Amino acid sequence: MLVTDTYQLIGHTPLLKVEIAAPHDVNIYAKLEMFNPGGSIKDRLGMALIQRGIAEGKIDAQTTIIEPTAGNTGIGLAIAALKHHLAVKLVVPEKFSFEKQTLMQALGAEVINTPSDQGITGAIDYAKKLAAELPNAYLPLQFMNPANPDVYQQTLGPEILRDLAGRPLAAFVAGAGSGGTFAGTAKALQAAYPQLENYVVEPAGSILNGGPQHSHRTEGIGVEFVPPFFKDVRINGIQTIEDDAAFHYVRWAARHLALFIGSSSGAALAASLRVAATLPQGANLVTIFPDSSERYLSEHIYD
Ligand code: PMP
């Protein structure tokens, strides 16, 4: 495959049939989003946010992009900003991984840390303040920007449908941080499979199942408020996964699949096995592996 720039490598990731003994012999398929050039599912979003901002006249050649992010969206935005020669400032709670912050800086972005105990909400508030102070700043705000679910509805969902090549699909299982991946992909899939069941994955400590809010080691998923994108998508259940279970499957994937997956992927696999137990014999289930473990080695992801 000959390509002439890195940006062409965004999307078109493989769908892996995961070799695992799932309940009811359910077939689990995982979309391997670590194969995007920036290493995560959020490369798709970075490009979409900048392209939409340009199309809507909110970004010109002098605009500084400012965004609160747990990291992967920051890397995706920094890649898209390079393509369009734009400056980027990323506001990241300091607890997020050293590797992700280093990669954002390597791409030319400025990283500004906010205190971990203020969570993503603190980063959002700080980014808004910074944008108000700069004369020509654009804040894509992935947490409310409809470009977020839209890009997954337009790219990830149709890719999965193509990869399944007509196999019937019973369930879709995906983690939620902003909720864009889940909502957009679920919409595309449920349009093709009206009986589809959609399950959201969150780490224990996230609020969707009404559990108490607390910090967690699983990175990239978990919410502090209900994503606005959930309004117009069917949700059949919420799977709350303990950190230990997520990290168990991170180690399992390395040993059994020769695959390096991040903790949100581990949580997605743990949740998929639970959902499989509720499905008919031999049903097909699709999940998403958003990134790789390599960007969490400093956090001792395999310990
Ligand atoms: N996993 C990882 C590793 C992520 O970085 C993200 C994005 N924060 C997600 C899952 C969740 O994606 P979304 O924001 O679309 O819900």
What's the confidence (pLDDT) of residue 130?
97
Per-residue tens of pLDDT for the chain, all 303 residues: 899 999 999 999 999 999 999 999 999 999 999 999 999 999 999 999 999 999 999 999 999 999 999 789 999 999 999 999 999 999 999 988 899 999 999 999 999 999 999 988 899 999 999 999 999 999 999 999 999 999 999 999 999 999 999 999 999 999 999 999 999 999 999 999 999 999 999 999 999 999 899 989 999 999 989 999 999 999 999 999 999 999 999 999 999 999 999 999 999 999 999 999 999 999 999 999 999 999 999 989 998
Closest approach atom of ligand 1 to CA 142: 14
What's the confidence (pLDDT) of residue 128?
96
- Contact indicator for 33, 292 with CB cutoff of 8 Å: no
- Contact indicator for 220, 262 with CB cutoff of 8 Å: yes
Cα distances from 279 to residues 11, 141, 286, in angstroms, run: 29, 36, 13
111 lines ligand 1 (CB under 6 A): no
* Distance of CA 46 from the midpoint of ligand 1 (Å): 12
What's the confidence (pLDDT) of residue 91?
96
* Of 52, 109, 50, 115, nearest in space to 84 by CA: 50
* Of 241, 16, 223, nearest in space to 120 by CA: 223
Half-sphere exposure of 158 (CA within 13 A, CB side): 7
Structure tokens at 11: 């999307």
What's the confidence (pLDDT) of residue 95?
85
**Hey, whose CA ends up nearest to atom 6 of ligand 1?**
220
Which top CATH class is 42-138?
alpha beta
287 lines ligand 1 (CB under 6 A): no
* Distance of CA 194 from the midpoint of ligand 1 (Å): 25
Structure tokens at 160: 């999965």
pTM of the model: 0.96
> What CATH number labels 6-37+146-299?
3.40.50.1100
Rounded CA separation 145/229 (Å): 9
Closest approach atom of ligand 1 to CA 148: 15
* Of 39, 38, 42, 129, nearest in space to 89 by CA: 129
43 lines ligand 1 (CB under 6 A): no
For residue 199, count other CB atoms closer than 10 A to its CB.
Answer: 23
262 lines ligand 1 (CB under 6 A): yes
**Hey, whose CA ends up nearest to atom 3 of ligand 1?**
220
Phi (first) and psi of residue 60, to 5 degrees = -120, -175
* Distance of CA 265 from the midpoint of ligand 1 (Å): 10
- Where do you find CATH 3.40.50.1100 in the chain? 6-37+146-299, 42-138
Cα distances from 161 to residues 12, 131, 190, in angstroms, run: 12, 39, 10
* Distance of CA 291 from the midpoint of ligand 1 (Å): 9
Phi (first) and psi of residue 27, to 5 degrees = -85, 120
